[in-house]
Amino acid sequence: MAAIKAVNSKAEVARAQAALSVNICAARGLQDVLRTNLGPKGTMKMLVSGAGDIKLTKDGNVLLQEMQIQHPTASLIAKVATAQDDVTGDGTTSNVLIIGELLKQADLYISEGLHPRIITEGFEAAKIKALEVLEEVKVTKEMKRKVLLDVARTSLRTKVHAELADVLTEAVVDSVLAVRRPGYPIDLFMVEIMEMKHKLGTDTKLIQGLVLDHGARHPDMKKRVEDAFILICNVSLEYEKTEVSSGFFYKTAEEKEKLVKAERKFIEDRVQKIIDLKDKVCAQSNKGFVIINQKGIDPFSLDTLAKHGIVALRRAKRRNMERLSLACGGMAVNSFEDLTVDCLGHAGLVYEYTLGEEKFTFIEECVNPHSVTLLVRGPNKHTLTQIKDAIRDGLRAIKNAIEDGCMVPGAGAIEVAMAEALVTYKNSIKGRARLGVQAFADALLIIPKVLAQNAGYDPQETLVKVQAEHVESKQLVGIDLNTGEPMVAADAGVWDNYCVKKQLLHSCTVIATNILLVDEIMRAGMSSLKG
């Protein structure tokens, strides 16, 4: 009888072999769910929420976060995979597959009586060797646009269909190159992702500027302004209540009128300062003038501004204020005391676009924008969601490539090379730990096998071809998923992120090791004592 039963008679317990098989089954179950999603030829999953909302996706991260996983071990693996996504932005599906496969390979040896501890020692040795191989085969290149296009294309094609991926690739790479500033870390929040529900997914495009999801609030204001000055401000242009709660007592009605006028004058003076600045900068030319305010603008002020040909947008979102000054230049002002021409930004074209009930304001043709907008278009909600998830991963892939300064060949090439190196390395290890190294090498091959299987080819036959080609040519050979034949991944422009593979090796080994070393599972929480 388990010792815990003496302490808590209601505790549930799974021991030794039972505990291991429970854990391995959970990992294999999760692996079976995600294995069909891997790679550009992977299939979709449809998630239906309790309210009946549909989500179509093959992004491992989205699946693991949306699925309700009840098994404790499976949810542990899912958390590790989503953490992989948080750190590197990619590699969730591979993570689950490799953990499942490591446990499956280890199970073969454990069922023959090998102790899990010995296998985990082999795993540890194999991980260190695999990381060395990764260091050797990484390709350091100057991250030019062409190279980044290949990296983004490899990432995006595993998330959406090829035609859409090619459209997104250009947009995503150009957006990261626009927001990149020498000497600063790349801030992906400066790429605004705005969605519009119309046209097709392939109409998604990059706007070299900003798109705001509201329009001007006055019918007389121009809908289109060319060659415009932009004033970005955070100043209230409406009546405000006093800061402290106070009451006023009047002797006569005139005094009340006087106070109202004084309050009104306070706002009018502010508006006048904007008008004076506009007259000063636009006196000789017919340039436009646009004011974007984070706080409110009341109808009287809007009317006055409209009469002077100024387009005013109120209640802009705070995140857009920072983006605006980066996109158009100029600076955001918090008071109108010392307004100068230097505070103004500039945009070549500002226009309003109405789509159904919603209005959008486009600020385009900025000279050197450090903040841009990806305008995601699609016919329905789940297409938009799918594209947004893909774009997020694409942006992260490019950021990783620029920060790493190197990449590794994709298409399963790196896994084949590591497995090959580990089989050779195994012979230099004394004792039974070499079985752990062998298990690790076999487990890595799940990636090329599943890639081939998802593309409709025989996994064993394809893998043998690739391995033979790798040994003969001494190059990093992956699988061409269109023909099922071996190909040199680098020549085909299939590149993976170095940091994704590195993180994969670390996290998969740690979790697989921890799960293998569990020899007792107890459900003996406080809740089970209450019955």
Q: Does domain 3-140+408-523 have CATH number 1.10.560.10?
A: yes
Best CATH choice for the domain 210-368 from the list 3.50.7.10, 3.40.47.10, 3.10.110.10, 1.20.1250.20: 3.50.7.10
pLDDT on residue 527: 52
**Contact predicate 387/193, CB 8 Å:** no
> Catalytic pick from 90, 107, 150, 393?
393
Residue limits of CATH 3.50.7.10 in the chain:
210-368
> Catalytic pick from 57, 82, 88, 93?
93
What 3 state SS string does 239-256 have? CCCCCCCCCCCCCCHHHH
Residues in the chain, overall count: 531
Sign of the torsion formed by the C-alpha atoms of 444, 449, 454 and 455 = positive
pLDDT on residue 529: 43
Sign of the torsion formed by the C-alpha atoms of 163, 167, 168 and 173 = positive
**Contact predicate 339/159, CB 8 Å:** no
pLDDT on residue 447: 85
C-alpha 6, offset from chain centre: 50
> Catalytic pick from 57, 59, 304, 496?
59
Q: Is 59 a catalytic residue?
A: yes
User: Token digits for 457?
Assistant: 């080819």
- pLDDT tens, N- to C-terminus, the chain (531 residues): 456 566 666 666 666 677 788 888 888 888 888 888 887 887 888 888 778 777 777 777 777 777 778 888 888 888 888 888 888 777 788 888 888 888 888 888 888 888 888 888 888 888 888 888 888 888 887 778 788 888 888 888 887 777 888 888 888 888 888 888 777 777 777 777 887 777 777 777 777 777 877 777 777 777 788 887 888 887 777 776 666 777 777 778 887 788 777 777 877 887 888 787 777 777 767 777 888 888 877 777 788 778 877 788 888 777 777 777 777 777 778 777 777 777 787 888 888 878 777 788 888 777 777 778 888 888 887 778 888 888 888 888 888 888 878 888 878 888 888 888 888 888 888 888 788 888 888 888 888 888 888 888 888 888 888 888 888 887 888 888 788 788 887 777 788 888 888 888 888 888 888 888 877 777 765 554 444
For 66, the 3-state DSSP assignment is helix
Beta bridge partners of 211: 362
CA–CA distance from 70 to each of 62, 76, 415 (Å)?
17, 10, 31
Q: Is 393 a catalytic residue?
A: yes
> Catalytic pick from 57, 73, 88, 92?
92
Distance CA 208, CA 192 (A): 11
User: Token digits for 326?
Assistant: 């980066």
pLDDT on residue 528: 44
What 3 state SS string does 431-494 have? CCHHHHHHHHHHHHCHHHHHHHHHCCCCHHHHHHHHHHHHHHHCCCEEECCCCCCEEEHHHHCC
Please tell me whether the overall predicted TM-score, pTM, comes out greater than 0.95 for this model.
no
Compute φ and ψ for 215, nearest 5 degrees: -115, -175
pLDDT on residue 524: 62
pLDDT on residue 9: 62
